[in-house]
Amino acid sequence: MRIESERLVSLNPATLEPVGSVALTDPADLPGRVRQARSAFPAWREAGLDARIRIIRRAEELLCAQAEEIARLITLEMGRPFAEAFTTEVEASIDLLYYYWKHAHKFLRDRRVPLHSVFFKTRKSFIHFQALGVVANITPWNWPLLIPLGVIVPALLAGNAVLFKPSEYTPLVGEKIREVFIRAGVPEDILINVHGGAEAGRAASASGVEKVFFTGSTAVGQAVMAQAAALLTKVVLELGGNDPAVVLDDADVEIASSGILWGGFNNCGQNCNAVERVFVHRRIYDRFVSRLVEKSGCLRIGDGMDSGTDIGPLATGAQRDKINRIVRAARNSGMDILAGGNTLPDKKGNFFTPTLITCEGNGDVIPDEEVFGPILYLKPVRDDDEAVRLANASQFGLAASVWTSNLRRGERIARQLESGTVMINDAVVSFGMTEAGWTGIKKSGVGWMHGEKGLDEMVNMQYINADPLFHTQKMWWFPYSEKMVAAIRAGLVFLFSRNILKQAAAVPAVLKHFTGYLVLNRPKRDKL
């Protein structure tokens, strides 16, 4: 990425050549753009859910028709192999649109709240959903299509307007997203794009929106939350991870090594839920590591547009430099580099070889940081308890995986892991399962994306309680009296006593005091 004449130029990380450019947004303009969106919001909200569903269905059709073109754009802007962009990101994005319009009525209709108390059995009680207004969506470069759509689609369906800031490294994908929705029928002022770097992101967060959705690093997420706190702006933060894989002694070594290889190195490891720390039972450790080294040596590194490429470049030069620093630190601490660990100077782009680092000694401590690149740390463990203890020894809690031939054992381990998501015998792809709510614990996030809970983040939940007995004086209203206290006293015994004899003895008092309230006739009451 570079800036030229007030334009943001997107660079291909495999060749470092320009892909295209977009106009930079002046951060000072953002409050005005939010006012513009807020003016358009009422008409969009009042257009009705069926009208919005038709537009999202049309957007799905347009995305389907342009699937390969968009996959190529993803590859050109951020480097991931075309086959990967097409099969994992674009397909999952189309499915996300389908899932949300298909379930929009179910998710957004009023939800009945049954009331258990006999005092309120006649009441109508429900949750009603109201659109928030204008929301800001600030997204990273590593999944430039799927991550933004995880906010934009449910936000639009719920009736909101969206201020969308794509990453400065993938602005062309961001523009393609807006183009698809505008062509589908979303009004121009309901989906507004903002282009720029960190300053534009800060301005978007502080622009007066009703809620900020941010996906990115934990450090930046903390800054977004601090800024939002000063304005009492609601936030959803999807942040970093240092995601563990636990390989049990009954795991299929062939399957586990292939799955973890993919879980650690797909998208060149640039996934917040990528496998980074691998804890393997000692009984199978040597076999597992041997197969992992052998398989990593077969991975083909190159331009993502070449059909034979398995691993593309890192998306930015800064990311390549970070991975270099991590590998140097591991070497300096005495850890062994079993595979990779270097850049490719014969290639022009931001390439780095898939790297395996062993931490076999008791003194070898895996750094508690998000790698976000093609590095796997490998450490043997004595038993399940040690694996769980080491996996949980992190400030992060985003995703984890367990590898075993015994699903019951795997589920037992999964329940002990401190992680928002755990997959058994697979990794990463749960983010592409739209109905699977996505969240992080510890320093990995606040709030939800995807699924019904993801749509709940797009609305204000309003509780409504209606009493059809509009002609009935409530017994707890003024004036207070000994008669009212006696009624409640009898009711408490009848409803909550664990002594059947006491409950039976309370029946006459309950009938005496509550009959006037339970029947539809107006009860006699004292005047104030």
Q: Please state, in angstroms and as integers, the Cα–Cα distance from residue 184 to each residue in 51, 94, 181, following that order.
A: 11, 14, 5
Sequence-separated (6 or more) residues with CB below 8 Å from residue 372: 142, 240, 269, 270, 271, 272, 274, 319, 322
Q: Rounded to whole angstroms, how far apart are CA atoms 36 and 23? A: 19
Give the count of beta carbons closer than 10 Å to the beta carbon of residue 99: 18
What is the CA angle 384-386-390, rounded to 5?
120
Residue 193's nearest CA partner among 152, 227, 221 is: 152
- DSSP string for residues in 300-332: PBS-TTSTT-SB---S-HHHHHHHHHHHHHHHH
Residue positions annotated with a catalytic role: 238, 272
- Residue length, the chain? 528
Which pairs with CB-CB distance under 8 Å and at least 24 residues apart come from 20-25?
20/172, 21/171, 22/171, 22/172, 22/174, 22/175, 22/195, 23/195, 24/195, 24/196, 24/200, 25/193, 25/194, 25/195, 25/196, 25/200
246 with 423: CB under 8 angstroms?
A: no
How far is C-alpha 214 from the geometric centre of its chain's CA atoms? 10
Q: Which two tokens stand for residue 498?
A: 């664990």
> Is the peptide bond preceding residue 479 cis, with omega within 30 degrees of 0?
yes
Q: Rounded to whole angstroms, how far apart are CA atoms 78 and 99? A: 26
Residue 299's nearest CA partner among 260, 265, 275, 341 is: 265
